[in-house]
Amino acid sequence: MSDFSPIEHLFKIFDETAAILQQELECSYLDALAETAENLFQQKVLQEEMSDFTKKRVCKKYEETNLDNYSKEEVRQAYQFAILKGMQENVQPHHQMTPDSIGLFMSYLLEKFMQEKKEFTLLDPAAGTGNLLMTVLNRQPEAAIAAAGVEIDDLLLKLAWCGANLIEQSVQLYNQDALEPLLIDPVDAVICDLPVGWYPNDRRAADFELQAEEGHSYAHHLFIEQSVKHTKPGGYLFLLVPNGLFEEAGADKLHRFFQKHVHIQGLIQLPMTMFKNKQAAKSILILQKQQVESLAPKQVFLATMPSMKDRKAMQSIMIKLETWFKENK
């Protein structure tokens, strides 16, 4: 009997076959991981340029791996660990993955706010490798969700597409700058780990209410506006934002935009232990797009989350949120 857990065993398959393809195809580990993930899903080697000897080596490993023997979460986590390994080997500032703990909590929030809908549409405009989106979809088995993701980086999008195939989640993925016009109908809910920093395309930024008065605009401000634009009236947004969002340059304009377009439902500061430094710390901002019959909550839900390892403190936050729902929703 193997000493490996199912996740460890599947990670080993991803890792070993990706390493073989990386050498054979002379590409990066992440490129090879996307290739081997698609091979595993198809149960055959798709790369014709590979030698027959190498094809036989990897085919044997694929044949020994039946994805039906793993849960969707086991597949997602094993694939995620392989992606993280690839990111560590080839560090890119924009190649970052939303931690599972955040994804799980955002999934809980989505379920609470959307509990009256048996089916709804969902968008992640900065999907990256798709880990946040897949985490959320795996945790919503009772709802029929039509999901879409947008990502400008073609490698990250390919990893997201292969990951969605592996866990058999139906997702529409778009390879483009999410701040350009989107051919996506407004959705019921948006989840997003906002890209933080400057947006270099000043000409495009000029089309946004939240453009900077001078110089480059903040990408995360523009992503908020784009997300609100692509949300249906009454729909919800769950956004991972920098803690200093309401103190940084352009905050006054952001306040006015919120007053005009959304109701702030909640702001939950994440534990500092999750982040390398104070500047990198983030919070979950919950918004509702205004509509005629929607009212602002009597009180905005404000909380600072404890360490997610502290079960008693986490339970206290959940009770506080349940109480807030009864009084405000």
Report if residue 263 sits inside a domain. yes
As for how many domains the chain has, the answer is 2
User: Does one domain contain both 130 and 194?
Assistant: yes
Q: Which of 69, 89, 109 is the last residue of a domain?
A: 89
Question: Domain check: are 83 and 122 in the same one?
Answer: no
232 and 283 part of one domain: yes
Q: Are 15 and 82 in contact (CB under 8 A)?
A: yes
In a domain, 280, yes or no: yes
- pLDDT for 171 equals 96
Does residue 94 lie within any of the structural domains?
Answer: no
**Tokens read off for 141:** 């088995």
More confidently predicted of 43 and 217: 217
Structural domain includes residue 212 = yes
Question: DSSP string spanning 158-207?
Answer: HHHHHHHHHTT--EEEEES-TTSPP----EEEEEEEPPPSEES-HHHHTT
Determine what percent of the chain is predicted with pLDDT higher than 90.
73
Last residue of a domain, one of 70, 89, 108: 89
Average pLDDT on 230-249 reads: 95
Does residue 110 fall inside a structural domain? yes
210 and 74 in one domain? no
Give the end of a domain, one of 65, 89, 113.
89
pLDDT tens-digit profile of 146-166? 999 999 999 999 999 999 999
- The span from the CA of 278 to the CA of 328, in Å, is 32
The CATH number given to whatever domain includes residue 259 is: 3.40.50.150
Q: In terms of domains, do 139 and 106 share one?
A: yes
Tell me the pLDDT tens digit for each residue of 297-324: 999 999 998 887 888 888 888 899 999 9
